[in-house]
Amino acid sequence: MLKLTIDGKSVEVEQGTTILDAARKIGINIPTLCFREGCSLSTSCMVCIVKVKNRIIPSCATVAVDGMEIESETDEIHEARRTALELLLSDHTGDCIAPCHNICPADMNIPLMIRQIAEGDLRSAIITVKEDIPLPAVLGRICPAPCEKGCRRGSYDSPLSICLLKRYVADVDLASDHPYLPSCEPANGKRIAIVGAGPAGLSATYYLLQKGYACMIYDDHDKPGGALQYAVPEDKLPHTVLDAEIGIIQKLGAEFRLNTKIGEDIKNLQTDYDAVLIATGQNENPFLKSIKADRNTLQSNVEGIFVAGNALGRKSNLAVRSIADGKLAANSIDQYLSSQTITGYKPFTTRMGKLTDVELQHFVANASKDQRVEPSGNNGFSEKEAYMESLRCLHCDCRKADNCKLRNHSDIYGADLNKYKGERRLFEQQYHHEIIYESGKCISCGLCIQIASRAREALGLAFIGRGFNVKVGVPFSRTIEEGLQKVAIECVEACPTGALVFKDGSRSQINSILILWDATATIIV
């Protein structure tokens, strides 16, 4: 057995063990991108580097030697890993999240919701929506739809009716026998006072209740809702809709003390509660001219007090922004009461920006060519209309955004997307009946090439081109469908980025079936 130390921790390993495996044995997680068990080593990404005797070496390919002293978590190593990631990002072509998602103040996963609508899975769609928006039926009626300004479909003909699709999902849920109720963690014994029953306060309550906190909402009106209840005309936002969505928050356990004005006595709430959220909207409360809050975390300069929504002094009056603040405040309060660092976390994201006409056609080629659907009545989309509009989505998002190693490591190491930014590669997509291949996201690790070769694919994959222009593709300019006939799924699972991803069912059907609607809106294939 060999004895070595990694970051001061001793470990014994057998002859032939790599530094990477030795580190994993004692719980030290060295990042990797191009490494995969059972595949030959390429050491191309250089993200797994460590330091041994003033030498920077790849841990995946370096065999341990008796007496080795290894450093893997120093500032120097972190900086070197960050540089390796930045070099990989220098010609990365792809969006982590779709432009509509990126521009949405509530950070809602819009493309996922639309795919679920297209698949007829409205239960999953409402869960997706309520991950970020607790009042979707309300916002579906009053939101000015900033997300639609980011929709790439608008560069081709007209943007998707995102707000109407969200409203459709929410209305169907409210009309069901059992509207969606998220599960809540067991009560943790901690209590939160929320001053203001407007969109920010209601939103914060919705998310805090799920985390096990007891929430008491104070408001000086006789009904909750704030400006949504008293400033929005009934013909634009029926009170029945607002009250129904507030009712769901009440079912989760929210308590209200209405007709109760909280002024300077906000300070008294600190004695009775573990944390206080001020979500009163724009008002003349003297206590709010004296308080300051970090816009990234919503934590104030007063211990235990947070501020959200228009109480922050914003000039805009967007309910969707206040709802987003409520979720952020809930997260920050949870971190505060859990003795964690309050981060105001926003994940690392890459963006392609404006597409060329040729690039746009790659997206449009796999979406419905129909014009924007307009509701035939005054009650939003019908089932058929929602389905037809959902097929217009270009699905600009990365299907691997949540488990892309390149994104996750770039986030952890604080990589600068623009550090070595050059002219990006052209965006292109290749479709297979099971997967999508986007060469611009490929880091040329070669894992998929090895997997295809091992399976004896007739064509398989290969490195094509030379130098900076090298990319992974199918030989002889053949299609990805022809290249991967056996191991497409294994290649997706091995890919460390979003270059190879699973294709959703709704998109695969758009150009291969004839959709006919009968009187009951049944799909006939």
Predicted model pTM: 0.90
Question: How much is the pLDDT for 283?
Answer: 67
Same domain, 290 and 360: no
464-486 pLDDT per residue, tens: 988 878 899 999 999 999 999 99
CA distances (Å), 379 to each of 87, 118, 232, 236, in order?
51, 20, 18, 11
Domain of residue 448, CATH code: 3.30.70.20
Higher pLDDT pick, 344 / 6: 6
Same domain, 78 and 156: no
As a whole number of angstroms, the distance between CA 256 and CA 319 comes to 20
Same domain, 157 and 195: no
Q: What are phi and psi of 499, to 5 degrees?
A: -70, -40
Ranges of H-type helices in 261-356:
266-272, 286-289, 319-337
Same domain, 85 and 105: no
Same domain, 433 and 496: yes
As a whole number of angstroms, the distance between CA 271 and CA 268 comes to 6
Confidence tier at 211 by pLDDT (50, 70, 90): very high
pLDDT above 80: residue 77: yes
348-360 pLDDT per residue, tens: 999 998 899 999 9
Same domain, 139 and 222: no
Same domain, 7 and 139: no
Same domain, 243 and 326: yes
Domain of residue 241, CATH code: 3.50.50.60
Same domain, 238 and 157: no
Domain that includes residue 35, residue range: 2-89
The arithmetic mean of pLDDT across residues 285-298, rounded, is 83
Residue 351 structure tokens: 């963006």
pLDDT above 80: residue 248: yes
Residue 399 lies in a domain: no
Residue 185 lies in a domain: no
Higher pLDDT pick, 228 / 508: 228
Question: How much is the pLDDT for 27?
Answer: 96
Same domain, 313 and 197: yes
Confidence tier at 171 by pLDDT (50, 70, 90): very high
Domain of residue 19, CATH code: 3.10.20.740
Same domain, 324 and 369: no
How many domains are there within the chain? 4
3-20 pLDDT per residue, tens: 999 999 999 999 999 999
Residue 408 lies in a domain: no
255-283 pLDDT per residue, tens: 999 999 987 778 789 999 999 999 998 76
Residue 267 structure tokens: 């300070």
- State in Å, rounded, how far the first CA of the chain is from the last one: 65
Residue 48 lies in a domain: yes
Same domain, 83 and 103: no
CB 398, CB 501: distance < 8 Å = yes
Q: What are phi and psi of 400, to 5 degrees?
A: -115, 20
